[in-house]
Structure 1
């Protein structure tokens, strides 16, 4: 068996034709004709690197720590595949892997190729950049070289990308095809083709724009901050037009992979899993971005399409099972006949492929560390906010005290004490470090959650989430499901109190209270 795992970043489900999108995605549509399209797939941990930890380990990690490296006790699917004799190869332009807070991920793979130049990757050196030229081309609200200095790196990188072929996405596909050319005659390999696009900045060649998408004629607007919308309708349309152009580019290059599969008769022995880490708000509900705003469907309800040669007859069908990001890891292992480690809480998607029937009682949770928690059963979705979202009482449990870019501060580390193991840490004790308000973790880097509160939506009657409801019976069932989910993840005792929840009878907190 062979597998190609295609992972995009910030791919909004509603932009794709198979999910009702009207941007124009003929190749995503074409793949959906072969694959099973899952209609109720949700995120786990947010945002980028926490989601990738869920993917590698098969369990949600946001109850224990924020954005950070792989932990010594984490068991990646790469480890299991290696023991099975499966070669894993990563092609990625996701530069966060190569920051301190993303260490230990790409090295899980047997081989890997890093494509430079995305977002604010510190790639090209220019000690005296042409600031006047940049100011004429790029709107300072998105590209202020003083207030947004890291974005200046992006503009410098763009100076070295003189043709479409120089952009990271085409270079990623070129690297993937190099791997496939060398290995398509072999068996037992997995290629993870990971594209940073369509993550912001929304940059695509002009040929992907469409007449009528936007009438804006000002300086470049393609990198909105994660905040409430303050732009004019014309400016909002321009940012959306740039995202739409990037989606079309993603679609065209994904089509090249489908062409490769067609021309070489690879559908008979090669599986494809396609998904993303999270979506993105493009002005819906009055917000840009992800993380600090409510967990609306545009962010947490994401695309998932799966093709497996053994289930080729299911092509074009829809999967109604409630699934989430941690399910990808045991699915990858199942494709190669590997058992998942005991600590994995995700479920293989292959179990749904023959009949496409869904469980009727599954409830999953999602969120950011030290933030509100989202809960869904696939029909209802609830946002639970703690009594004081900026309150103290939480701790980071880690053996790798590193935030996204900066290490934990001396003030944070002075609070450290040794914590007993959790049920997934291979009997390793951990550092228990106070989660301070000022810690350099998302979303503290660009806002907070303090201006929002509880919401419950019925997605059957209100898919656009315009009218929150109250329903005591539904809320009680979702809260029971949340407690069970937290118990299954051996959630720290203080998390229940911080969230304003009573622990379930089988939770770690309840067990500790009984001692």
Structure 2
């Protein structure tokens, strides 16, 4: 699993094959999915889907697994399947992610990505000179990144390389065993795009980086064309390094004969805007295809290889797929469905799929069209969090928000357990963008079609009802419960 891997930069989806030869090699042994979507944005909400097989974003923002949540990895462990996690995704050790990694049988972590509070930083030391005005420069994370880099001077020191190495050690130790699962989870190619020079040179970058950590901002693509091209090359260089690490995994599959008896999934949580539509970043903006339409590859031993699949699928489908593969009964109702039948016949999984970020647009797609529903009111209210773990990414809920918390009866979302309904706050507000309809059959084009829009709104309401979205969420969007 990679973080922030954009399908447009991978050769199986039409990119330059010279930069990602191992993704081409992967596609030869897998089914490549053409209509795979993320669901809950961004990082930890997506991982909650990975564990639970359920949408997260309609009820909850960035937060930990809840006491009432079902985790498929804990279920595997309790059923006799050894589940191991290796990762350099530092959000697992923050307040808003600290309950995920302990659901596995064991885990191993590597420090130093992004703003991971790892190496002591010199508060008097600023950022390197010559940075683009589009470069992220606020907050402690950029300075922390500079400190972390001092401990990773060579490629073999970088946390992605160490993570993959630990995953390969696990594979080598378990090739002759059955009933095991390993999640090799790399934070790259998430920003900052810190990468050894040889990968930068491969995409024509010689000078020191000026824009390898883009700020989440609106950008004039014409005025900043040169800088955006430079930024895209920095990202492409990091994707090339990720491709090299994927090659190590594929080599292990070849060496140990794992293709014959081992399920392999290669996926990501979301993509990234690198100037497309006039934006840099992800969940601040409307959920364009570059963000939410993600790459997905799956190898099932003895079944189709080197083929493509067009079924509409999502991150919520991964948990039921793993449980199906290992023959474990979930015992709870999931929003996702097993993808194993898709490999055999490209059968339908979903008529419609929901996606979004908590408090932003709520979106629905049928694979051909996307409808983005905006907040009906300028103040984006009413807006609530449903939780028993009142923490965000790197801190606790405010006393003000906790002071208005209400204990409510359990429902499907909480598997019957009572939970707190708190006022929520967000840095995103879809009201300014408005609702919109998009044709995504060949790229992405905004359209006006009353018939399609009416159908998509009906599907959106049905989908929200099916997952028992809070009444406040219907009201926030101006929809009838």
TM category, shorter: over 0.9
> Out of 104, 108, 124, which is 1:109 matched to?
104
Contact between 2:203 and 2:236, CA under 8 Å: does it hold in 1? no
* Corresponding position: 1:202 with 2:193: yes
* Corresponding position: 1:364 with 2:353: yes
When residues 496 and 86 of structure 1 are mapped into structure 2, their CA distance, relative to the original with a 3 A threshold, is same
> Out of 386, 392, 405, which is 1:397 matched to?
386
Other-structure match for 2:12: 18
Contact between 1:213 and 1:237, CA under 8 Å: does it hold in 2? no
Contact between 2:372 and 2:436, CA under 8 Å: does it hold in 1? yes
Other-structure match for 1:279: 271
The CA RMSD over aligned residues, in Å, is 1.8
> Out of 387, 409, 418, which is 2:398 matched to?
409
Deviation, 1:79, is: 2.3
Deviation, 1:149, is: 2.3
Other-structure match for 2:129: 136
**In structure 2, the residue corresponding to 1:383 is in which secondary structure?**
strand
Deviation, 1:161, is: 1.1
Q: Deviations over 1:123-149 (max 9, x none)?
A: 111445643xx43365575253xx332
Deviation, 1:219, is: 5.1
1:469-480 aligned within 5 A: 469-480=447-458
Deviation, 1:475, is: 1.4
* Corresponding position: 1:256 with 2:256: no
**In structure 2, the residue corresponding to 1:101 is in which secondary structure?**
coil
Contact between 2:341 and 2:347, CA under 8 Å: does it hold in 1? no
When residues 47 and 15 of structure 1 are mapped into structure 2, their CA distance, relative to the original with a 3 A threshold, is same
| Counterpart-to-counterpart distance in 2, 1:385 and 1:424 | 23
When residues 487 and 143 of structure 1 are mapped into structure 2, their CA distance, relative to the original with a 3 A threshold, is closer
**In structure 2, the residue corresponding to 1:196 is in which secondary structure?**
coil
* Corresponding position: 1:289 with 2:281: yes
| Counterpart-to-counterpart distance in 2, 1:291 and 1:47 | 7
> Out of 424, 438, 451, which is 1:457 matched to?
438
| Counterpart-to-counterpart distance in 2, 1:325 and 1:255 | 23
**In structure 1, the residue corresponding to 2:254 is in which secondary structure?**
helix
| Counterpart-to-counterpart distance in 1, 2:300 and 2:130 | 46
Other-structure match for 1:187: 178
Deviation, 1:212, is: 6.1
When residues 46 and 57 of structure 1 are mapped into structure 2, their CA distance, relative to the original with a 3 A threshold, is same
> Out of 413, 420, 428, which is 2:409 matched to?
420
- For these two proteins, the number of residue pairs brought into alignment is 478
Q: Deviations over 1:411-469 (max 9, x none)?
A: 0001011111112423211111112xxx3x5xx1xx54343122212222xx332x411
| Counterpart-to-counterpart distance in 1, 2:37 and 2:379 | 26
Contact between 2:61 and 2:392, CA under 8 Å: does it hold in 1? yes
When residues 389 and 252 of structure 1 are mapped into structure 2, their CA distance, relative to the original with a 3 A threshold, is farther
Other-structure match for 2:147: 156
Deviation, 1:214, is: 5.4
**In structure 2, the residue corresponding to 1:8 is in which secondary structure?**
coil
Contact between 1:8 and 1:195, CA under 8 Å: does it hold in 2? yes
> Out of 16, 20, 35, which is 2:30 matched to?
35
Contact between 1:129 and 1:156, CA under 8 Å: does it hold in 2? no
Deviation, 1:28, is: 0.6
Other-structure match for 1:173: 164
Contact between 1:57 and 1:75, CA under 8 Å: does it hold in 2? yes
Other-structure match for 1:338: 328
When residues 57 and 483 of structure 1 are mapped into structure 2, their CA distance, relative to the original with a 3 A threshold, is same
Q: Deviations over 1:220-270 (max 9, x none)?
A: 210111111246221111111110000100001100110111011111111
* Corresponding position: 1:49 with 2:44: yes
> Out of 75, 78, 81, which is 2:76 matched to?
81
Contact between 1:214 and 1:237, CA under 8 Å: does it hold in 2? no
Structure 1: 5+ residue runs without aligned partners? 1-6, 504-515
TM-score, normalised with respect to structure 2 = 0.95
When residues 49 and 99 of structure 1 are mapped into structure 2, their CA distance, relative to the original with a 3 A threshold, is same
**In structure 2, the residue corresponding to 1:186 is in which secondary structure?**
coil
**In structure 2, the residue corresponding to 1:37 is in which secondary structure?**
strand
| Counterpart-to-counterpart distance in 1, 2:389 and 2:378 | 25
| Counterpart-to-counterpart distance in 2, 1:486 and 1:424 | 12
Q: Deviations over 1:30-64 (max 9, x none)?
A: 11111011110111100000000011000001111
| Counterpart-to-counterpart distance in 1, 2:202 and 2:465 | 52
Structure 2: 5+ residue runs without aligned partners? none
| Counterpart-to-counterpart distance in 2, 1:98 and 1:389 | 35
Deviation, 1:213, is: 4.2
> Out of 87, 90, 96, which is 2:85 matched to?
90
